């Protein structure tokens, strides 16, 4: 069975983005490819496999379950779990060879206990909070936390990292402060005799804007999927990986003055031909695009009219001569300059591109090319 609505995932573009980021960071810096949230909606297993094939050094997930899914599908690349590992997932993290994040003795303890029971040594990364004020031990307390983790006989502090809060802001002064705090915390770790092999801080924006944030490894998500993480890096030759395609399932003649869809938010200003698309907000096409977005059909742009429904979207096809059921329609285009790029749609919807990509629902099959 093939559905008229699908997300096309261009793995050649993904590999191109891997190479582009590799060129940016140089050969001495490792790249962690972030595949949390089902690879930002692209399919974690396929994206992870393509990244590993393109020489990405480590993969990053948010939760243990995501890491387990990659292992079950045969991916052997090191995997960092960037969220904290709850007590009852510690055993799975060890069994599947994942690298957990800890923020001190309390999060290390369950891992130490399970690792001791299995008689293995587990590599962990210490998360240091330098200003995001989310996960991680506060920078001032990082050396104490690292010492406590390092004192666990079955754990090694293989990595230390922080996360930047404002790396994508137009005039970012915060990252410099965070990196200074991070450097101090690393000095104190070293003074305490703890030398993590892999130090990392940069997300996509910092990777592309702030070489001083590269350390031993960068953590790239959005840029690998070909979406520019901020205006400042527009010139980087990234290729969007996802496009979103559907087909007209029905057309409806509407008389001038008639309203369409819930709430009659749009009324035909003339006798019009409305096309019905089999995709809705339940598939991740945001309701905020009601009456605001456009789609590409027959080489032209056609406006979305009326409220986006759960399972359907209506478009005005009056000016599309070939309008008929079966006609292909593109909702997201893999072109950074298009008004139908994920970034542009996010702007129209009052969202961010991360939300658009990760929001594409389970009901939408992913079709892989390249
Ligand atoms: C999601 C995430 C990233 C990737 O961020 P991008 O902006 O997509 O590059 C990096 N680090 C951490 C800790 C994350 O949670």
Ligand 1 lining (C-beta closer than 6 Å)? 34, 36, 82, 163, 203-204, 219-223, 229
Whether the predicted model's global pTM rises above the 0.95 cut: yes
Q: Which domains does the chain have, with CATH numbers?
A: 11-227 (3.20.20.10), 242-333+335-369 (2.40.37.10)
Are 245 and 6 contacting, i.e. CB atoms less than 8 angstroms apart? Answer: yes
Are 282 and 361 contacting, i.e. CB atoms less than 8 angstroms apart? Answer: yes
Q: In this predicted structure, what is the pLDDT of residue 1?
A: 60
Q: In this predicted structure, what is the pLDDT of residue 55?
A: 96
Rounded average pLDDT over 95-99: 98
Q: In this predicted structure, what is the pLDDT of residue 229?
A: 97
Contacts (Cβ under 8 Å, ≥6 apart) of 98 = 61, 64, 67, 68, 71, 79, 80, 81, 92
Tell me how far the alpha carbon of residue 53 lies from the centroid of ligand 1, in angstroms.
21
Tell me how far the alpha carbon of residue 2 lies from the centroid of ligand 1, in angstroms.
33
Q: In this predicted structure, what is the pLDDT of residue 213?
A: 98
Q: In this predicted structure, what is the pLDDT of residue 29?
A: 98
pLDDT tens, position by position, 41-58:
999 999 999 999 999 999
Atom of ligand 1 nearest to the CA of 40: 8
Least confident piece of the model among 1-5, 126-130, 153-157, 239-243: 1-5
> Would you say residue 3 has pLDDT above 90?
no
Q: In this predicted structure, what is the pLDDT of residue 72?
A: 98
In our burial notation (b when 16+ CB lie closer than 10 A, e otherwise), range 266-296 reads bebeeebbbbbbbbbbbbbbbebbbbebbbb
Atom of ligand 1 nearest to the CA of 135: 13
Share of the chain above pLDDT 70, in %: 100
Q: Which residues in the chain belong to E strands, given as ranges?
A: 6-10, 30-34, 58-61, 79-84, 99-102, 122-129, 137-138, 155-161, 198-202, 217-220, 242-247, 250-254, 259-260, 266-267, 272-277, 294-297, 300-303, 313-316, 328-332, 366-369
Q: In this predicted structure, what is the pLDDT of residue 347?
A: 97
Tell me how far the alpha carbon of residue 356 lies from the centroid of ligand 1, in angstroms.
16
> Would you say residue 258 has pLDDT above 90?
yes
In this structure, are strands 272-277 and 313-316 parallel, antiparallel, or unpaired? antiparallel
Is 252 catalytic? The answer is no
How many CB atoms neighbour CB 159 within 10 A?
Answer: 22
Helix (H, G, I), strand (E, B) or coil at 238: coil
Atom of ligand 1 nearest to the CA of 220: 9
Atom of ligand 1 nearest to the CA of 34: 4
Tell me how far the alpha carbon of residue 61 lies from the centroid of ligand 1, in angstroms.
9
Q: Which residues in 174-213 belong to E strands, given as ranges?
A: 198-202
pLDDT tens, position by position, 225-246:
999 999 999 999 999 999 999 9
Closest C-alpha among 369, 344, 330, 361 to residue 38: 361
Mean of per-residue pLDDT scores for the chain: 97
Q: How many CA atoms lie within 13 A of 162 on its CB side?
A: 30
Q: What residue's CA is closest to ligand 1, atom 3?
A: 203
Q: What residue's CA is closest to ligand 1, atom 15?
A: 82
Helix (H, G, I), strand (E, B) or coil at 114: helix
For residue 325, name the pLDDT band (cuts at 50, 70, 90): very high
Placement of tokens 């309008």 in the chain? 323
Q: What residue's CA is closest to ligand 1, atom 6?
A: 221
Placement of tokens 């991740």 in the chain? 284
Tell me how far the alpha carbon of residue 245 lies from the centroid of ligand 1, in angstroms.
27
Is 127 catalytic? The answer is no
Q: In this predicted structure, what is the pLDDT of residue 248?
A: 98
Catalytic residue from among 36, 40, 225, 281? 36
Two structure tokens written together for 163: 């996360």
Q: Which of 33, 36, 219, 357 to mutate to test the pocket of ligand 1 (most atoms within 8 A of CB)?
A: 219
User: What is the rounded distance in angstroms from the CA atom of residue 227 to the CA atom of residue 346?
Assistant: 11
pLDDT tens, position by position, 272-310:
999 999 999 999 999 999 999 999 998 999 999 999 999
Rounded average pLDDT over 15-20: 98
């Amino acid at each position: 069975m093939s559905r008229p609505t699908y997300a096309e995932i261009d793995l050649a573009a993904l590999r191109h983005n891997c190479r582009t980021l590799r060129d940016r960071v140089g050969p001495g810096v490792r790249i962690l490819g972030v595949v949390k949230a089902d690879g930002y909606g692209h399919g974690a297993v396929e994206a992870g496999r393509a990244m590993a094939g393109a020489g990405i050094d480590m993969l990053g997930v948010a939760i243990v379950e995501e890491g387990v899914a990659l292992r079950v599908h045969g991916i052997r690349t090191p995997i960092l779990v960037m969220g904290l590992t709850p007590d009852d997932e510690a055993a799975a993290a060890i069994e599947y060879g994942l690298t957990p994040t800890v923020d001190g003795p309390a999060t290390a303890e369950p891992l130490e206990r399970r690792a001791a029971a299995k008689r293995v040594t587990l590599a962990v990364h210490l998360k240091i909070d330098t200003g995001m004020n989310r996960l991680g031990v506060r920078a001032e307390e990082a050396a104490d936390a690292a010492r406590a983790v390092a004192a666990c006989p079955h754990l090694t502090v293989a990595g230390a990292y922080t996360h930047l809060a404002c790396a994508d802001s137009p005039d970012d002064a915060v990252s410099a402060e965070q990196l200074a705090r991070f450097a101090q915390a690393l000095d104190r770790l070293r003074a305490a005799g703890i030398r993590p092999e892999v130090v990392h801080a940069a997300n996509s924006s910092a990777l592309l804007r702030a070489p001083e944030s590269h350390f031993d490894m960068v953590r790239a998500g959005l840029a690998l999927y070909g979406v520019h993480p901020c205006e400042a890096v527009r010139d980087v030759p990234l290729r969007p990986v996802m496009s979103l395609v559907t087909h007209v399932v029905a057309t409806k003649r509407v008389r001038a003055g008639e309203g369409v869809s819930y709430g009659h938010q749009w009324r035909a200003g003339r006798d019009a031909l409305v096309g019905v698309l089999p995709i809705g907000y339940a598939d991740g096409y945001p309701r905020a695009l009601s009456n605001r977005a456009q789609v590409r059909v027959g080489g032209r742009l056609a406006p979305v009219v009326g409220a986006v429904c759960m399972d359907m979207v209506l478009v005005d096809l009056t000016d599309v001569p070939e309008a008929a059921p079966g006609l292909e329609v593109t909702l997201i285009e893999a072109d950074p300059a298009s008004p139908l790029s994920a970034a542009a749609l996010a702007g129209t919807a009052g969202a961010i591109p991360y939300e658009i990509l990760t929001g594409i629902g389970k009901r939408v099959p992913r079709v892989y090319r390249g």
